[in-house]
Structure 1
Amino acid sequence: MNLTYYGHSSFSIDFAGIKLLFDPFITPNELAKDIDVSAIEADYILLSHGHADHVADAIQLAKQTGAKVISNYEIIMWLGREGIENGHPMNHGGAFDFDFGKVRYVNAVHSSALDDGTYLGNPGGFIVSNGQHRFYYSGDTALTMDMQLLPRYGKLDFAILPIGDNFTMGVDDAITASDFIQCNKVFGVHYDTFGYIKINHEEAIEKFSKAGKELILAEIGSTIKIAD
């Protein structure tokens, strides 16, 4: 299973031949200026919440790719008003079987609105699974006790967690989160994009290592094998 990182919290996962694109924020991100958005492919687009740094390119990419968009009810209704009709609404605690596997929409502690005040529902995260693999993308969130419930849905191959602090968990809380979800392989997101969330990469990796865990910090535009 390969993961391509587009910067901030935007990434694509090749999930048994199906391309899953998460939280596309690329064109406004100066750190991702070398990414050609017109070349991005997606079968599904999953949006964790309605902040601009997670949905900025969602409309363009949904139209460009024809992908089905999976998100909370309010975001799917908003996209419908913007001309995106191929959407699948979800809400917290619910799961649905798609052709690539099961998606469960789980709690996140954050906020969710556009800069103009448009309310886009409650933030969330996703557990994505099929018969072979299972991973968790938390979306933007604080450390929350709800994460301790996630192992009941099965063992995770890896997790994608924010580590930038200020707006979300920082490195120390992400380590605790990995304890809660019982997953020691973490792909870090939501760091360095803005001044508020710049981190020391070597220090972050060392902290995870000392806790017996692996933190992966990928180069923007790179593709890595993240699970067999």
Structure 2
Amino acid sequence: MRNELVAVAVGALVTFAGVAQAQGAPAQGTPAQGAAAPKKAEAVKAPAVAKGKTEVTWWGHAAFVIRTPGGAVIAIDPWLTNPKAPKDTAQPEALDAILVSHGHFDHVGETKALAQKTGAKVFGSFELVNLLGLPEAQSVGANAGGTFQVKDATIHLVQAVHSSSYQSDPKGPSHYAGAPLGYVIQIEKGPTLYHAGDTGPFAGMELIATQFKPTVAMLPIGGHFTMGPAEAAQAARLLKAQTIVPMHYGTFPLLQGNPDALKGELKKLRGAAKVMDLEPGKSTAL
């Protein structure tokens, strides 16, 4: 994958910094994996969850923070310093769980720093969690098929189709980080969320639909490294979710898919799913 990025850089130098961040070593000025997140001058308390509602906050790229009616606070792929991240929103001060789909820099993000700050348990592939070097009490290394309870949220680890490697030092070697994952989060008295991680469409999405019946699917649509809008529309058809939340688009020049294109592709398939185009930093009740 790194060779591919180098080739892109040679052909179009203007995109190099964004590409390097997307799938390889962090670009200059970007914190390395596992590095502490930049401190904000003033911490602002997160807004309270609407009573009886599940709230989702998109932090740009594939990063989300979920707050459940039962008080669970769950971060997914927390690269909270990505180019689309809100600049005026404080990072979470309290987390119960951090779910990491795979080892690439733009998904591990600030996982280690957030876990150290909040004491949250980190869920991910067995190999990746071991590479992060967190205390055993916070490390939940597992694989597709694993199921875990976090307050009123039941978390299922499911398949994704992608690659996964991890660099603790941007100047050091990449290490195999296990199979990539997606996550299904069943919330008591709330929606069932599916975060696909980085993936292309695959037939197993139909099994995810049958087994878990997700109501909200967070799907990558940027293309190049993941599904584009046409493939994401096919995934939506397989998943039968009522609502699609687009992610992993627009962060870098190569990720050209967008929500309007997804809407057009869903219309071609006569899909009934609604596209919920979230604004980074704004909490939305589900």
Query: Normalised by the size of structure 1, how large is the TM-score?
Result: 0.90
CA distance in 1, matches of 2:184, 2:222: 21
Q: What's the CA shift for 1:36?
A: 4.7
Give the stretch that moved more between structures: 160-169 or 144-153: 144-153
| Aligned: 1:215 with 2:275 | yes
Q: What's the CA shift for 1:60?
A: 0.9
Q: What's the CA shift for 1:131?
A: 3.5
| Contact 2:232/2:262, CA 8 A, preserved across alignment | no
Q: What's the CA shift for 1:40?
A: 4.7
| Aligned: 1:22 with 2:82 | no
| Contact 1:135/1:159, CA 8 A, preserved across alignment | yes
Larger gyration radius, structure 1 or structure 2:
2
Query: Partner of 1:112 in structure 2?
Result: 164
| Secondary structure of residue in 1 paired with 2:162 | coil
Could you report, residue by residue, the CA deviation over 1:86-130 in whole angstroms, capped at 9, with x for unpaired residues? 121211122233333321111100001025312111101011114
Which structure features the higher share of strand residues? 1
Query: Normalised by the size of structure 2, how large is the TM-score?
Result: 0.72
> Residues 224 and 143 of structure 1: is their aligned pair in 2 closer, same or farther, counting only changes over 3 Å?
same
| Secondary structure of residue in 2 paired with 1:197 | coil
CA distance in 2, matches of 1:13, 1:38: 13
| Contact 1:26/1:37, CA 8 A, preserved across alignment | no
Q: Equivalent residues in 2 for 1:52-201 (5 A)?
A: 52-79=105-132, 81=133, 85-115=137-167, 116-132=173-189, 133-201=191-259
| Contact 1:93/1:105, CA 8 A, preserved across alignment | yes
> Residues 59 and 84 of structure 1: is their aligned pair in 2 closer, same or farther, counting only changes over 3 Å?
farther
| Contact 2:77/2:100, CA 8 A, preserved across alignment | yes
Q: Give the aligned residue type for 1:155.
A: K
Unaligned runs of 5+ in 1: none
RMSD: 2.0
Unaligned runs of 5+ in 2: 1-53, 168-172
